Amino acid sequence: MANLSAQPTVAPFETSETKATSEYAGPFGQVFYDPANPQNAYMLVNCQSAFVPGEAVVIDGSGNASRITSTSVGLVGFIAGTVSGSDTAAFAQVEGEVADAILTSGVTTAAFLIAPATTDGGYLDILTSAEANVVYGGRCTAAPSTATTPFTSDTSASSIVGVGTVRLKRGGAFVYGVNSNHGTVS
């Protein structure tokens, strides 16, 4: 049996900061709640590549965060700070209101979110008439603005994405890595 405690735990560093895994080798997968807004939860993750704030990731059972794709299976999160490369400890928001979520310009508040078939940038798309890897437990609450791109100019996704708001349910959102077409919009 686990020895559980009701005591709040203080995060080892700010959500906007990152640490090399050689510098911080803590328990990846641990969740911390924002005391100013306890509906927002952040998971300490071991990043498998470079990320920008708001980039969508999938988190496995060991707390490893990878760019989300159409075959991803795991907990969905959004990176909180700039990550320069792999083997970096960072925070991913896994519950609550994510105000800087990277989404395609076609995303609206009226449809399901999906993990697209891409590896050029971590973002979510809208479920259309084709089957896709649906994000269960996540919903767009403010459509994205494409006024400024969150990705660098060398990322091919930069022209189709913007920053919007996503609400992640308590316990987090999940992708199963299988195609579904329920609730499609054409």
Confidence at residue 6, expressed as pLDDT on a 0 to 100 scale: 53
Mean pLDDT of 164-174: 96
Between CA 58 and CA 132 the distance in angstroms is 15
Q: Distance of alpha carbon 78 from its chain centroid, rounded?
A: 3
- CA pair distance 124, 150, nearest whole angstrom: 13
What contacts 153, CB < 8 A, 6 or more positions away?
Answer: none
Mean pLDDT of the chain: 87
Note the pLDDT of residue 47.
96
Query: At residue 164, does pLDDT exceed 90?
Result: yes
Band of pLDDT at residue 89, cut at 50, 70 and 90: very high
Q: What integer pLDDT is reported at residue 5 of this predicted model? A: 54
Residue 150's pLDDT band (boundaries 50, 70, 90)?
Answer: confident
Would you kindly state where each structural domain of the chain is located, as residue ranges?
Answer: 19-175
Arithmetic mean of pLDDT, 150-170:
80
User: What does the pLDDT read at residue 155?
Assistant: 58
Find where tokens 């080892």 sit. Answer: 12
Residue 50: is its pLDDT beyond 70?
Answer: yes
This prediction has a pTM of 0.91
Of the listed ranges 10-14, 30-34, 77-81, the one predicted with least confidence:
10-14
Q: How confident is the model at residue 53 (pLDDT cuts 50, 70, 90)?
A: very high
Share of the chain above pLDDT 70, in %: 88
Cα–Cα distances (Å) from 31 to 9, 10, 27, 163, in that order, read 9, 10, 10, 24
Most confident of 24-33, 68-77, 120-129: 68-77
